[in-house]
Chains A and B, each alone.
Chain A
Amino acid sequence: MKYFARVEVKLKPGHSDPEGETTGSLLRELGYKIEEVCVSKVYTILLEAQTHSEARNKTEEMCKRLLANPTKDNYAIFIEEAQ
């Protein structure tokens, strides 16, 4: 089976997000009433796995080994079957 794993890597709460702050300040200058902008990174990975849970486990391992640094990053994984 083929699966799409969508991984969102974002900063843990309490870590400053200079990219988000800079973007937010410009959006305010453009007239938008916003409270906060948080920047995250999204990876969409097409992978082969026997089951949904195997696809999740493999993706979890990828996050730990490369995609996220546990010092500052949280990550969320969304798995769906590829059509």
Chain B
Amino acid sequence: MKREEIRVCLLRVGGTNCDSETQRAFQELGVQTENVHLNEMVKRKNLMEYQGLVFPGGFSYGDYVRAGAIWAKRLIAKLGNELKTFVEANRPILGICNGFQVLVESGLLPGFEGMSAYPEATLATNVPQGYNCRWVHIKNENKGRCIYTSKIPRGEVLRIPVAHSEGRFLFPKQKEQELLDNLYEKDLVVFRYCDNKGEYAEGLFPSNPNGSFHDIAGICNPEGTIFGLMPHPERAIFWWQQPDWTRQKNWPRYGDGKIIFESLIRYLVKKG
């Protein structure tokens, strides 16, 4: 498939944000996007007309009950069959920040044995408590499963911002180690928080901005096609989005977030 023929759906509801930034990122890379409200998609039921699906960041439905929970359950109730078909066709789904919370709450991630009826993990309130908006470093841990990091060498460190209050990735306490082993065995760990030299944060703030278990910043499903991360790659596409661009003389045209979108597009072009 030619890059310009690819169509990506950016799904939105009340309270989502950064959908325009995500759209701008895809446009820069020559991919068509459409920003569609969930209610509109429920009427149209044409999800399969898109090659990719993105759940952007924000505070969907006010983050009531738990961050991402209402959107996740509404999605399953209203669009469950279409979503299942989309997933079974190995079409990629990206969840950024609130979108990651939606993927976890809907049971799509980690999805050890496919989509689970109840969430297998959670993105809990940050430790230290509060909304945290800062640039962080994340290291690519994936050995090749995740289609969104195929262009990123393993061990490479990216600088991308986070902006959230509920990003502390957790497993049930009594099964923490077992499920972490499972993540590694299936190659589902994608990004871990680290410092600017690539040393793991070891749970310490501010390198780990939310107290995430094992410094986890992003994971994928066993097929590598569904990927969620707390950092916002769409806010790190252009040189002028960087926090220190005025202090650099020769700033590269693009930021570190671009390669995640490029990897996704490469998969879509190859998939046809």
Contact = CB atoms under 8 A, between A and B. Distances in A.
A59 B126 CA distance: 29
B119 interface: yes
Given A14-B173, A15-B170, A15-B173, A69 B129 contact: no
A70 B129 contact: no
Interface in B105-142: 105, 118-122, 124-129
B119 A65 contact: no
B122 A69 contact: yes
Nearest to A12: B173
Interface in A11-70: 12, 14-19, 21-22, 64-67, 69-70
A15 B129 contact: no
A32 B33 CA distance: 56
Interface string B183-198: 0000000000000000
Given A15-B173, A16-B211, A69 B127 contact: no
Among B121, B124, B170, B211, the one with the most A-chain Cβ atoms within 10 Å of its Cβ is B124
B96 interface: no
A17 B211 CA distance: 12
B69 interface: yes
Among A12, A22, A66, A72, the one with the most B-chain Cβ atoms within 10 Å of its Cβ is A72
A83 interface: no
A19 B129 contact: yes
Given A14-B173, A65-B73, A72 B124 contact: yes
Contacts of B105: 69
A17 B124 CA distance: 9
B175 to A, nearest CB: 9
A67 B211 CA distance: 23
Contacts of A65: 73
Given A14-B173, A15-B173, A64-B118, A69 B125 contact: no
Contacts of A15: 124, 170, 173
A66 B69 contact: yes
A70 B211 contact: no
B13 to A, nearest CB: 16
A71 B101 CA distance: 13
A45 to B, nearest CB: 13
B172 A71 contact: yes
B1 interface: no
The 7 nearest A-B residue pairs measured at CB: A18-B129, A71-B122, A14-B173, A69-B122, A18-B127, A69-B119, A72-B122
Interface of B: 65-66, 69-70, 73, 105, 118-122, 124-129, 170-173, 211
11 contacts: A15-B124, A18-B126, A19-B125, A22-B129, A64-B118, A66-B70, A70-B119, A70-B172, A71-B171, A72-B122, A72-B170
